[in-house]
Structure 1
Amino acid sequence: MKVLDLKCSHEHRFEGWFASTEEFESQLSRKLVACPVCSSTEVSRMPSAPRLNLSSTRGETAPQAPQPQAAPEAAALQARALHFMRELIAKTENVGERFAEEARRIHYNEAPARSIRGVTTPEETHALLEEGIDVMPLPVPDALKEPLQ
């Protein structure tokens, strides 16, 4: 198993686990490797120090080279953003493609008031705002749309 340090075109850093370097290259060329934060498939491999486990032959623990890390501030910001997104998803009802319709029903007191989320086009979002319906476009990373395995 190969553990690779990766980053996307937006400088989000993450780890990827692959059976081999060739498998990583194959998945990368087919756009199957995506950033867990922004879903970008423009991913590149970061330099990483090799990990040598010599303890099995010598009976001692081999020192590990320090791994490159994102700036602590960026990593903390990314963690807070993901926490916020998870909390938002947990506290809202997903109405999917019916978002604009349901937002209007709530606004005009035709449905119970509640926090909803869903999908709409930029034009539909603009129309809702012009009607005085408060909406906030918020792109959710694909990694948060499905339950974790």
Structure 2
Amino acid sequence: MIRYTLTCADGHQFESWFQSADAFDGLAMRGLLSCAQCGGGGVKKALMAPRVTTQDHAPAEPDVAPVPAQAQRARLSEPANKTEEMLRAMRDHLARNSTYVGGRFAAEAREMHLHETEARMIHGEAAPDEARALIEEGIPIMPLPFIPPDKTN
């Protein structure tokens, strides 16, 4: 495993772990990396100072990246910025007011659109081709900007 400090096109800096340098390169070439703060693309490795340890001298401090001043003031359970606060509010609203339907999302959305079942708020998963078909049929859907709480570990 390897940890990289990364930056997005908007200048946000964050860290992420990768299985190997090749794994990072492969994800980056396919455009599968996004910013942990804004979700934007253009993610690149930031300049990092190597951590070198000799047998005679152990590191004086743990191998941890510096924490931004804003994050030092906040507890880990508190949102670090306005974006995190808004995403948390959306996630909480979803948990309180929506039903998770898993892989049946496309079928459930279609049944509600055709008035075959009562309309209600749902969330779940759909393959890209299923989502495209729903949009082409005029069924209003949208991707979530986060992983639903019931799908995180």
From 137, 144, 149, give the equivalent of 2:147: 144
Q: Distance in 2 between matches of 1:104 and 1:12?
A: 43
Q: Distance in 2 between matches of 1:117 and 1:43?
A: 28
From 76, 79, 87, give the equivalent of 1:82: 87
2:56 corresponds to 1:46 = no
Q: Distance in 2 between matches of 1:140 and 1:52?
A: 41
- Listed as ranges, the gaps of 5+ residues in structure 1 are 126-136
- Aligned Cα root-mean-square deviation (Å): 4.2
SS across alignment from 2:3: strand
Query: Of the two, which has the highest radius of gyration?
Result: 1
What letter matches 2:144 in structure 1?
V
CA contact (8 A) 2:53 2:59 kept: no
Q: Distance in 2 between matches of 1:4 and 1:71?
A: 21
What are the within-5 Å matches in structure 2 for residues 78-117 of structure 1? 78-91=83-96, 92-94=98-100, 96-97=105-106, 98-99=108-109, 101-102=111-112, 105=115, 111=118, 114-117=120-123
| Greater RCO structure (CA 8 Å; 6+ sep) | 1
User: In 2 relative to 1, CA 36–103 (structure 1 residues): closer, same or farther, beyond 3 Å?
Assistant: farther
What letter matches 2:135 in structure 1?
T
Alignment deviations for residues 59-81 of structure 1 (CA, whole Å, 9 cap, x no partner): 56248796374976x94123213
2:146 corresponds to 1:121 = no
Could you state the TM-score of these two structures normalised by the residue count of structure 2?
0.53
Tell me the CA shift for residue 39 of structure 1.
Answer: 5.3
Number of corresponding residues: 131
- Listed as ranges, the gaps of 5+ residues in structure 2 are 72-78, 125-130
User: In 2 relative to 1, CA 139–60 (structure 1 residues): closer, same or farther, beyond 3 Å?
Assistant: closer
